[in-house]
Amino acid sequence: MDMPSSAVSEIPNATSAAIAAHIANALRAAIAERGQASLAVSGGKSPIPVFEALRGQVLDWSRVTVVLVDERVVPHGHADSNTGLVQRHLLQGAAAQARFLPFFGEITPQLTAVVLDTLVDDATARIDPLPWPLDVALLGMGEDGHTASLFPGAAGFARAMATDEQLAWVVSDTAPHARLTFTLHALLSARELLLALAGEAKYAVYRRAREQADVALPVSLVLNQDRTPVSVWLG
Ligand SMILES: O=C1O[C@H](COP(=O)(O)O)[C@@H](O)[C@H](O)[C@H]1O
């Protein structure tokens, strides 16, 4: 499971407000420089207060394209859908003017490797309008050290960590649902990464992960690199 032993800790309101202000500044700067901006966001439960603070930020949302860093392969109406989460909590009010690029529309219930390969190809085409590189990517982390849907040991994990493509599929015994995820390469192609997490269990994992890059803790490969600036926001 994403959070096997405890309830997910949401990012507290004060930290969420600071993260939202930081992201909004980066989006405004991108719009001023390039006329448009791109934002990738994690799903899960912890960023909900960040989304709710971010949607109240004053900026030209019509120039922002939003995408997920990962998605569970479930219908958008499913309770575990990250697309549904973003639609309910971020793309509201002025932020509803943003362009959102979900990875898929309808899905088939038969998720074979061939079907997942096709979903990845289709999703890659769907995100083609995304202004690239991403201006900002907001990442979360699970207690197993996964970020986006880079679940250690999952089917598809080695490819997702090594390929220079943007998207990959992952199927993990320890997480519900097949996933589509930005690859490590795509995440590290962003202009700026934010990692936000809250709760003692996650802090302990984070402290281990920041020590050295270890593929068993995928978030450590985001933290221990010098290609892309990363800021860490502990709730
Ligand atoms: O499965 C996922 O897990 C992580 C962490 O989720 P949270 O519920 O503990 O916040 C999340 O960052 C990722 O996007 C999500 O799909």
pLDDT bin (cut points 50, 70, 90) of residue 46 is: very high
Task: State if residue 49 touches ligand 1 by the CB under 6 angstroms criterion.
Answer: no
Q: How far apart are the CA of 140 and the centre of ligand 1, in A? A: 6
44 touches ligand 1 (CB under 6 Å): yes
pLDDT at residue 2 tops 60: no
- CATH number among 2.50.20.10, 3.40.50.1360, 1.10.760.10, 2.30.30.790, domain 8-234: 3.40.50.1360
- Tens of pLDDT, residue by residue over 112-166, are 999 999 999 999 999 999 999 999 999 999 999 999 999 999 999 999 999 999 9
Residues 68-101 pLDDT 10s: 999 999 999 999 999 999 999 999 999 999 999 9
Which helix (H) or strand (E) segment holds residue 186: the answer is helix 184-188
**Measured from the CB, is residue 172 less than 6 Å from ligand 1?**
no
User: b/e string for 161-181 if b means 16 or more Cβ within 10 A?
Assistant: beeeebbbbbbbeebeebbbb
Q: How far apart are CA 22 and CA 12, in angstroms?
A: 15
As to burial, measured by CB atoms within 10 angstroms (0-12 exposed, 13-18 middle, 19+ buried), residue 7 is exposed
Q: Is 43 a pocket residue for ligand 1 (Cβ < 6 Å)?
A: yes
Q: Which atom of ligand 1 is nearest to the CA of 142?
A: 5
- Give 148 Cα–ligand 1 centroid separation in angstroms: 7
Give yes or no for residue 149 CB within 6 A of ligand 1: yes
Ligand 1 atom index nearest CA of 68:
14
Helices (H) and strands (E) in the chain, counts: 8, 9
Distance in angstroms (rounded) separating the CA atoms of residues 137 and 135 = 7
The alpha carbon of 124 and the centre of ligand 1 are apart by a number of angstroms equal to 21
Question: Is 81 near ligand 1, meaning CB less than 6 Å away?
Answer: no
Peptide bond into 49 cis (omega under 30): no
CB of 70 sitting under 6 A from ligand 1: yes
pLDDT of residue 7: 72
Q: What is the pLDDT of residue 8?
A: 79
Burial of 2 (0-12, 13-18, 19+ CB in 10 A): buried
Query: Is residue 73 helix, strand or coil?
Result: coil
